[in-house]
Amino acid sequence: MTMTVSASGPAGIFISYRREDAAYPAGWLYDQLAAHFGEQRVFKDIDSIQLGDDFVEEINTAVGSCVAFLAVIGRRWLTVTSEDGKRRLDDSADFVRLEIEAALRREVRLIPVLVDHAVMPRVAELPPSLRPLRRRQALELRHDRFKSDISHLLEVLDVIVDQAAAHPAEVVSPAEGESVLRGERSRAASTAMRVGRQERADRDRARLPLGGARRTVVLGCARGAGQTVTALMTGQTLAAVRGTSVAGLDLNPGDTSLASRSVPVGSIAALLERHGPDDGTTARPEARFDVIAGPQPTDRFWPLADDQYRRLAVLLAERYPLTVIDPGPTGLSQVLSMAHQLVLVVPASPEGGSYLTNTWQWLTAHGYSELASQAVTVINGVSARRMEDVLRSEAMARGRCRAIVRVPWDELLATTQVPSALRQPTRHAYTALAGVLVAGMAAVQGPGESSGPGPPEASQTDSASGEQNITSG
């Protein structure tokens, strides 16, 4: 049974407001958002909290699990007072203050929404804990241009929700994944706890011990699928989570190669001449993803001979416990023969299923059916608008590979070199991918297994036990 890394619940939008200040505009806004996104995605206290629930606990949990936070600010938002005449905003237990503090602390996308001709508060008018609110770009919602204002807000929220649509918070069975995507509502508290538990489980899997050096090949099923960026982020994530150096072997030269995205520490030519980087298993100030630049077409030893690929595998195993390989068309069969794990990258597009089918047919025809059956399929650039395409690709992949991981669309992937700079759902996706990969490599190793070249024998691989390893965290 193929496992799917997918969303654990709908991407929530939290509306914060004061009844004495903006009850009517907040209700109006709620109706518009609920009609556009669905009621299960919009949290507003009087409509969403069940009888008997702890109000403070539910609000704090809901804020932490939402992807967008709308602070509705009217003309009395700053000045509303309690029965003793003190300003409510100065009370550290004030619900509105608690909500905004939680959003700022958790780095939720916070959008001030100005209603009734209100203006943004000045810094001096805010408690110290709320002063970062002043730096957030606000949207003015006016009666005389409501349609255009609300349209602009919905466009912004669409992008935010799209980015979170594939939140890789949970490894679930195919049936569970489909029910989640149909929008079955789960309580905010259980969602937030499940997200945290799953991320910890993914990290634990990614730290599983390995008895020898391991090599992962990242193969794009189509041009532009995201092969190189997947190799880069996977290697960076493995290095950071495991606390060791990981090699990135660049065999796919060009303007967008691995070496163009991250400064290489050496080259394949130097490594083959025994002038490569230091042993990656020795203590370093910090974990690193060491890119080893590939040969140029004009190099005298390119393309590599079979014995050079085997020697390259041995040299990498001497220096690094893990290697992520970004292959090119030349020498692909030799590279696949070095692999312990295979990642197939497919775009979230209408053609995704056919790309996967063509790739599997090629792998089977060239003798890599066992490697393909234990592969991890990455669906790249997932968004709400592409969900039908994603589900079709998953249906095609299900039963033909070991696991499926969704990576959300994230514009930062085009420019950043490190996962820590990505949006949270994207970081979680690569952590989940790292966990699935290491779990698979840990499951097939045996006592005294050699760290030399070549993938583990087919007889060592047990599909059911491999999947159990993925879900047992």
CA atoms of 331 and 306, how far apart (whole Å): 9
Q: What is the reported pLDDT for 279?
A: 44
CATH fold match for the domains 10-164 and 170-471:
yes
CA angle 285–289–292, rounded 5-degree value = 120
86: left (phi over 0), alpha (psi -120 to 50) or beta: beta
- Smallest Cα–Cα separation from 222: which of 91, 84, 381, 365? 381
Task: Give Cβ neighbours of residue 66 (< 8 Å, ≥ 6 apart).
Answer: 11, 12, 13, 14, 43, 108
Long-range contacts of 148-152 (CB under 8 A, 24+ apart): 150/29, 150/32
Q: CB-based contacts of 223: which residues, under 8 Å, 6+ apart?
A: none
Fold of the domain spanning 170-471: Rossmann fold (3.40.50)
Nearest alpha carbon to residue 163 among 420, 426, 428: 426
**Cα distance between residue 117 and residue 38, in whole Å:** 28
What's this model's pTM, rounded to 2 decimal places? 0.60
| Beta carbons of 401 and 467 less than 8 angstroms apart | no
pLDDT at 285: 47
Query: What value does the CA radius of gyration of the chain take, rounded to a whole number of Å?
Result: 25
What is the pLDDT at residue 343?
97
Query: Looking at residue 118, what DSSP letter applies?
Result: -
- The domains of the chain are located at 10-164, 170-471
Q: Which residues of 222-239 are buried (b: 16+ CB within 10 A; e: fewer)?
A: beebbbbbbbbbbbbbbb
Supply the pLDDT for residue 170. 36
CB hemisphere CA count around 258 (13 angstroms): 32
Q: Classify domain 10-164 at the CATH superfamily level.
A: Toll/interleukin-1 receptor homology (TIR) domain (3.40.50.10140)
From first to last of its 473 residues, what are the pLDDT tens digits of the chain?
445 554 334 458 899 999 899 888 888 898 899 888 887 778 876 445 566 666 666 666 768 778 899 999 999 999 999 888 899 999 988 889 988 988 888 788 899 999 999 999 999 999 999 999 998 989 998 888 888 888 889 888 887 777 665 444 333 333 333 333 333 334 444 444 555 667 788 888 899 999 899 999 999 999 999 999 999 999 999 999 999 999 999 998 877 888 888 888 888 888 888 765 654 434 344 678 999 988 766 666 677 888 888 888 999 999 999 999 999 988 899 999 999 999 999 999 999 999 999 999 999 999 999 999 999 999 999 887 888 899 899 988 888 898 999 999 888 888 888 888 888 888 889 999 999 999 888 876 533 344 444 443 332 223 333 332 222 22
Q: E-assigned strands of 79-169?
A: 109-114, 139-140
Q: Give the model's pLDDT for residue 278.
A: 55
CA 34 – CA 49 distance, rounded (Å)? 16
The predicted pLDDT at position 47 comes to: 47
Give the number of residues written for the chain.
Answer: 473
